[in-house]
């Protein structure tokens, strides 16, 4: 089946430093999946951060960026300068190119930004 | 704008007791609806989905059931809770079927003792 791998369970970064959260995926269906980053801030629900549906394209939101790399099957999340308010849990997810409504998540990465 | 509401916010229940969790979507007719579950320290898993009223499909077997009694309502239930049911339950909706973006509710935290 499909799978999403986030290699870092926890990441700690100092404020104003750059960030990268790794995400790689494996999709068994023919065609390219849609890729997502969701975020859960403390005490809140899961929110869509960004989405990319076309291989090679970049999505961006709130200063975060992610590029759909079909050759490397990666969708890493990056930010040039993090803020303390970015502290949250980040989830990478994929929706396969099938008519199933399925969304497969990675295990999540807990980001802590130190002041 | 669409809003999604889940109830209750949190529950502490005894093993063997019944459970009913609810989800309501406002501002969107005929949404596709989904239930997800995340065990503590685990991965978010899709449990059920529903494309239309009265029809629910199971994705993962966890001794839970789901129903969609109204267009805007999705219910997750069981007659007998297990310790393994503890975790975080999320309801989600999407406009279109297939690969469309899913939008999540605030979730219900369940602890089974």
Closest CA to A2 of A67, A92, A65: A92
| CB proximity B59 to A under 8 Å | yes
CB-based contact A100:A45 (threshold 8 Å): no
CB-based contact A89:A40 (threshold 8 Å): yes
pLDDT for residue B99 is more than 80:
no
CB-based contact B89:B36 (threshold 8 Å): yes
Could you report the per-residue pLDDT of A80-111, keeping only the tens digit for each?
A: 999 999 999 999 999 988 778 889 999 999 99
The residue of chain B with its CA nearest to that of A104 is: B45
Nearest Cα of chain A lies from the Cα of B44 at a distance, in angstroms, of 6
**CA atoms of B32 and B103, how far apart (whole Å):** 10
pLDDT for residue A30 is more than 80:
no
Half-sphere exposure of A112 (CA within 13 A, CB side): 5
Q: What share of chain B in percent tops pLDDT 90?
A: 87
User: What is residue A99's predicted lDDT score, i.e. its pLDDT?
Assistant: 74
- Contact (CB<8Å) B94/A100: no
Mutate to test the interface with A, among B6, B7, B38, B44 (most CBs of A within 10 A): B44
User: What is residue A48's predicted lDDT score, i.e. its pLDDT?
Assistant: 96
User: What is residue B96's predicted lDDT score, i.e. its pLDDT?
Assistant: 85
- Contact (CB<8Å) B107/A46: yes
Q: Which of A33, A51, A101 sits opposite B97 (nearest CB)?
A: A101
**A29 or B109, greater pLDDT:** B109
Could you report the per-residue pLDDT of B35-51, keeping only the tens digit for each?
A: 999 998 899 999 999 99
Q: Which of A48, A91, A100 sits opposite B103 (nearest CB)?
A: A48
């Amino acid at each position: 089946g499909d799978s999403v791998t986030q290699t870092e369970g926890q990441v700690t970064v100092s404020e104003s430093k750059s960030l990268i959260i790794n995400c790689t995926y494996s999709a068994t269906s023919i065609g390219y999946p849609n890729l997502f980053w969701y975020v859960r801030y403390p005490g809140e629900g899961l929110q869509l951060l960004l989405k990319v549906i076309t291989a090679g394209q970049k999505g961006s939101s709130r200063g975060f960026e992610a590029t759909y790399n079909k050759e490397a099957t990666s969708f890493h999340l990056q930010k040039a300068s993090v803020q303390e308010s970015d502290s949250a849990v980040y989830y990478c997810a994929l929706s396969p190119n099938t008519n199933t409504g399925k969304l497969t998540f990675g295990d999540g990465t807990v980001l802590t930004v130190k002041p | 704008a669409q809003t999604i509401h889940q109830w209750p916010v949190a529950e502490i229940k005894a093993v063997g007791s019944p459970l009913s969790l609810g989800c309501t979507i406002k501002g969107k007719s005929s949404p596709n609806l989904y239930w997800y579950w995340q065990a503590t320290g685990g991965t978010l898993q899709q449990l059920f989905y529903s494309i239309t009223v009265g029809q629910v499909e199971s994705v993962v077997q966890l001794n839970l059931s789901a129903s969609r009694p109204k267009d805007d309502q999705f219910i997750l239930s069981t007659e007998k809770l297990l310790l393994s049911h503890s975790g975080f339950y999320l309801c989600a909706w999407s406009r279109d079927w297939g690969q469309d973006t899913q939008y999540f509710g605030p979730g219900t935290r369940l602890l089974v003792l």
